[in-house]
Amino acid sequence: MTNFATARQKMVDGQVLTSDVTDHRILDAMLTLPREMFVPAEKQALAYLDLDLDVGGTGTVRRYLLKPMLTAKLLQAAGIQSTDTALIVGCATGYMAALAARLAGKVTATESDTALAAQARDVLSKLGFQENVSIEVAEAAAGWPASPAYDTIILNGATEIAPKALFEQLAEGGRLVGVWAANRPSRAMIVTHSRGDFGNRVLFDAAAPVLPGLERRPEFVF
């Protein structure tokens, strides 16, 4: 039987701390949040390994928990504050949303697959996150327009396009972080909103599965 508490400690010590993640709030959240609860029962033994773990079930949906290291680095890059309103795009079963909820004042998370969204709501409810997390069914590119706008938006996966609708949902001073996979190598990037304009910069090389709805459209060849 897997000792999940030991597995969590090894994940943080071997994958997260060694990747220059120094925010103790993130480290504490990853040490205490039971990642195995966000994983199908038959894959729980894999919950703490250094891989993008498919949690889409037996159907055609392929949805992932991102590698623990990348999850932590994206959260740290987002610079979430306790007063922030955050949006998690493509939350799958809700692990990234739960971590963000340990850092932010309020979290909204979107998921395009209704069954996965229902799983996320169920797990988050069992863990006591009803107060500051809501799960909404929506396409990744659409986000979830809200008032006020979001201080932080995190893509729980990669994008091959510029998700302009998400940019427009950033508050003044807001940050969007995710993996850009339009070119190779793919890279984690941050987009900032300041004085009505958007800027971006590369954070680090990274790879992640592309979120459904954020794929590059196929080009027609005549």
Pairing of strands 64-65, 170-180: unpaired
What pLDDT does 1 receive? Answer: 60
Work out the pLDDT band at 183, boundaries 50, 70, 90: confident
Check the CA dihedral 80-85-89-94 and report its sign. positive
| Spatial contact of 74 and 188, defined as CB atoms under 8 Å apart | yes
Work out the pLDDT band at 218, boundaries 50, 70, 90: low
The mean pLDDT value for 14-43 works out to 97
Q: Decide if pLDDT at 217 tops 80.
A: no
Amino acid at 166: L
What pLDDT does 81 receive? Answer: 96
CA geometry: angle 107, 41, 87, nearest 5 deg: 10
Round to the nearest angstrom and report the end-to-end CA distance of the chain.
Answer: 57
Work out the pLDDT band at 148, boundaries 50, 70, 90: confident
Contacts of 110 (CB under 8 A, 6+ apart): 87, 88, 89, 90, 91, 135, 136, 137, 138, 139, 140, 142, 143, 144
Q: How far is residue 160's CA from residue 180's CA, in Å, rounded to a whole number?
A: 6
For the record, the structure tokens of 113 come out as 């697959």
Question: pLDDT per residue over 39-96, tens digit each?
Answer: 999 999 999 999 999 998 655 678 999 999 999 999 999 999 999 999 999 999 999 9
Lowest mean pLDDT among 25-29, 108-112, 215-219: 215-219
Q: What is this structure's pTM? A: 0.95
The domains found in the chain, sorted by start residue, are 4-205 (3.40.50.150)
Q: How far is residue 106's CA from residue 119's CA, in Å, rounded to a whole number?
A: 20
Work out the pLDDT band at 219, boundaries 50, 70, 90: low
What pLDDT does 78 receive? Answer: 98
Alpha helices in the chain (DSSP H): 4-11, 24-32, 68-78, 95-101, 114-126, 164-167
| Spatial contact of 173 and 153, defined as CB atoms under 8 Å apart | no
Per the model's pLDDT, the better-predicted residue between 217 and 202 turns out to be 202
The mean pLDDT value for 140-158 works out to 95
Nearest to 120 by CA among 55, 179, 178: 55
Helix (H) or strand (E) holding 137: strand 133-137
% pLDDT > 90, the chain: 88
pLDDT, averaged across the chain: 94
Q: How far is residue 24's CA from residue 191's CA, in Å, rounded to a whole number?
A: 24
Task: Say which DSSP state 135 is in.
Answer: E
For the record, the structure tokens of 8 come out as 């969590």
Q: Decide if pLDDT at 103 tops 80.
A: yes
Q: What share of the chain is helix, strand, coil (3-state, %, to 5)?
A: 35, 25, 40
The mean pLDDT value for 160-183 works out to 96
For the record, the structure tokens of 23 come out as 């925010």
Per the model's pLDDT, the better-predicted residue between 130 and 134 turns out to be 134
